[in-house]
Amino acid sequence: MEPGVKKRAPQRLQIYKAIHPQAFLLTAISSFVLLIGVWLLLSTSGVVNPIFLPPPQAVLTELFVQLGSSEYWGHIGISVFRVFSGFALACAIGIPLGILAGTFKYSEAFIEPLMEFIRYMPAVAFIPLIMVWAGIGESSKILLIFIGCFFQLVLMVADLTRRVPHDLLHASFTLGASRWQAIDSVLIKAIRPQLMHTLRLILGWAWTYLVVAELVAVNSGLGYTIMKAQRFLNTEQIFVGLIVIGLLGLITDRIMAYLNKRMFPWA
Amino acid sequence: MSQAARRSIQDMGFEDKASIKEAARPVQQSATRARIEIQGVHKRYVSRKSTFEALRDINLSLGSNEFLTILGPSGCGKSTLLRMVAGLDEPTEGQLLIDGEEIHGPGADRGMVFQGYTLFPWLTVRENIEYGPKLQGMPTLERRSLSNHWLSVIRLEQFAQAYPKQLSGGMKQRVAIARALANRPKVLLMDEPFGALDAQTKQEMQEMLLEVWEREKTTVLFITHDIDEAIFLSQRIVVMGTGPGHLAAEYEVKLPEGRTADVREHPDFLALKRELSHLLKH
C-alpha cells in the first residue's frame, strides 16, 4: 500500500444500517437495565425519599403480591375490556368511514373538515358531558375511549387510502375492475399493512384514555388502583399500576407487530 | 420538424415525401380494419391565468394486430395521448374510438403496461396474472392453466408464488405484460414500459415482447423516446413533436419478422435510425 494512503475502517454507526437482531435486543435490554440502575441508585442511596420513589425491589415485591390476588386480575380484566371495547367500536365505524373519506372527494368534503374540527376538542374535556349523557357506568368509559380514538382514526385511514399509488388503481381499471371492485380489490388490500400500523398507534392512545376515564368516578380498573394507591400514599402500588399498563401495552403492540409480519409478508 | 415524411425504409429515397395529413392515415387500412381511431383530438389544460395546449389535432389509426410506436421527446404529450386511449384521460376536443365505439373511461378491452411498477404487491406473481380473469369470473381451474401458460411465456414459472418485492425490475415488467395479456385485451397499451431498466435487460425485454407479439398477434400501441427501441419493435412509427404536441411524421418499418438483436446492424435499421435522430434533434 502506498504510504500516506490509510485504509478507512468502516464506521460502526452508519445511518440506517441494519444490525444483527441479537445486537438490537441487547441494546434494547441495556436501556431497561440503565433505567432500573438509575432508579436503584436514587432510591437506595437515600437521595430521594422512598415515599416518592420506592426502591425497585419493593415495587417488584408489590407487583407479585398484586398479581397473586384475584382482585387485581379483576381490575386488569375490566380495564382490558374497556380498552378493547372502545377501540373496537372506534375501528368498526372509523375504518369504513376513513376509507370512504379517502376514496371520493365528496365524502372527503363531507367528513374530513368536521372530523378535523372535533379532533381539536380534547377528549378529556368531554368527560363532564359524557357523565351527563352516559352516567358513570361502563358505557361512559368506553365512550371516552371511543371519542379519543375515533376522530383521529378516521383522518389517518383517509390519508392512508389517498396515498395508495394511483397507478395501481389505474392498472385495475385497465384490467376490467369496476369502481367498487377497485375499492375492494385494490384500495382496501393496499392499505392493510399501514392500517395495522395505525391501529397499533391508536391502541396506545386508547390505553391513555382508559386511565383518564378510570381516574374519575369508578371503583374498578387499573386507573382506579392507581388513584386509590395515591390516596394512601402507596407509591409502590402506583408504580405497579404503571408497569402493568406498560406491559399490557407492550404485549398487545408486539402481538400486532407479529401479526402484521405474518399476515402481510408481501409488504 | 416541418418536413413530414412517410416512407418505408426499404425503398427509402425512392418514394415522394407525403404531407402530414397523408402521413396520419393508416398505412395498412386496406389490409386490416382499424382497431383504434383517434380523430381530431386536442388537449388543453385551462387554468384561471393561462391555457396550456398539450396536444393539437391528433389523427391516428391503429390496425388490428399492428405494432405501432409513438416516438417523441419527453413533454410532447405522448403519454397523455396513450392515457386517453386507455380512458384514463379525456380529450378536450375530438374523439377516440375502439372498434368504432367511442371510448369512455378505462376497460378490460384496453390492457395497459405502465412506466412505473404497478403489480399488486399483495398478490403473488400468479395471482397478479390471474387478477383480470378472476374479476371476469373465470373458473379457478381455467385460470390456473391460463396463468401457467403466461408464466411459461415470460419464463418465470419458478417465481409463481413470489411476491413482486422479490422480483427484479425486468421481471416485474414481464409479469405486468403477462397480466395485461392474460386478460385478452383488444389492444395492449405500453407507456415506456422499459424506461427504468438497464440497457441489457431492456434488450432482453424487447426481444421477449416481440416474440409474444408475433405469437399472440396482439395489437400494440407503444410509447417511447428511445429510437432504437421504436425501430426494433414496430411495424410503424409515428413521430411526435412538441409545443404543442402534434404528429410530425410517420414511418413504416419494413424489417423482417422474427427480428433478433442482429437486426440492429441491418443497414435499413441504421438508415432509419439516422433519419429519426435527425428528426428528433429539431
Nearest-CA distance A171 → chain B (Å): 7
CB contact under 8 A, B86 and A185: no
Tell me which fold the domain A77-218 belongs to.
Answer: MetI-like fold (1.10.3720)
Mean pLDDT of B207-217: 90
Instruction: Tell me the average pLDDT across B151-171.
Output: 95
In the predicted model, is pLDDT for residue A191 greater than 80?
yes
Rounded to a whole number of angstroms, the distance from the CA of B62 to the nearest CA of chain A is 18
- A167 in contact with chain B, both atoms CB, cutoff 8 A: yes
- Pairwise CB contact (< 8 Å): B120 & A186: yes
pLDDT at B250: 93
Across all residues in chain B, what is the average pLDDT? 87
pLDDT score recorded for residue A50: 85
The pLDDT of residue B12 is 40
**How does pLDDT run across A86-126, given as a tens digit for each residue?**
999 999 999 999 999 999 999 999 999 999 999 999 888 88
Which tens digits make up the pLDDT trace of A30-40? 999 999 999 99
Q: Does A188 touch chain B (CB under 8 A)?
A: no
Rg from Cα positions in chain B: 19
Give the residue from B115, B118, B126, B147 with the most A CB atoms within 10 Å of its CB, the best one to mutate. B118
pLDDT over 80 at B4, yes or no: no
DSSP letter assigned to residue A186: I
User: What cell numbers appear for B62 in the block?
Assistant: 391503429
pLDDT value of residue A2: 59
Instruction: Please compute the mean of the pLDDT values over residues B90-119 and round it to a whole number.
Output: 94
* Alpha-carbon span A109 to A168, nearest angstrom: 24
Residue B222 β-bridge partners = B69, B190
Q: A–B: how many Cβ contacts below 8 A?
A: 73
> CB-hemisphere CA count at 13 Å for B137?
0
List all residues 6 or more positions away from A245 whose beta carbon is below 8 Å from its beta carbon: A79, A207, A211, A222
Residue B148: how many other CB atoms lie within 10 Å: 14
Asked whether the predicted pLDDT for residue B203 surpasses 60, the reply is yes
User: Which residues of chain B are within 8 Å of residue A172 when distances are taken between CB atoms?
Assistant: 120, 131
Q: What is the mean pLDDT of residues B118-134?
A: 97
pLDDT over 60 (residue B233): yes
Contacts of B184 in chain A (CB under 8 A): none
**Is the pLDDT reported for residue B78 higher than 90?**
yes
Q: Name the least confident of A119-128, A252-261, B154-163, B270-279.
A: A119-128
Query: Which sequence spans correspond to the domains of chain A?
Result: 77-218
- The pLDDT of residue B3 is above 80: no
Q: What is the mean pLDDT of residues A174-198?
A: 96
Question: How would residue A253 be classed by pLDDT, with cut points 50, 70 and 90?
Answer: very high
- How far apart CA A134 and CA A138 sit, in angstroms, is 9
Return the residue in B120, B147, B177 with the most chain A beta carbons within 10 A, the one to mutate for interface testing.
B120
User: pLDDT grade, residue A48 (50/70/90)?
Assistant: confident
**Can you count the helices (H) and strands (E) in chain B?**
8, 11
Closest CA to A59 of A77, A39, A76, A73: A39
Under 8 Å between Cβ of A84 and A142: no
Mean pLDDT of A193-203: 95
Q: For B8-51, how does the pLDDT look when each residue is reduced to its tens digit (9 = 90+)? A: 444 343 334 444 444 444 444 434 457 899 999 999 999 888 88
Percentage of residues in chain B having pLDDT higher than 90: 75
Beta strands B236-241 and B67-71: pairing type? Answer: parallel
Pick from A176, A264, A266: CB nearest B135: A176
Q: Is A3 exposed, middle or buried (0-12, 13-18, 19+ CB in 10 A)?
A: exposed
ipTM: 0.85
Whether residue A186 and residue B86 make contact (CB cut-off 8 A), yes or no, is: no
What homologous superfamily is domain B6-10+32-66+75-118+187-281 in, according to CATH?
Answer: P-loop containing nucleotide triphosphate hydrolases (3.40.50.300)
Which residue(s) pair with B238 in the sheet?
B70, B250
Q: What's the mean per-residue pLDDT of chain A?
A: 92
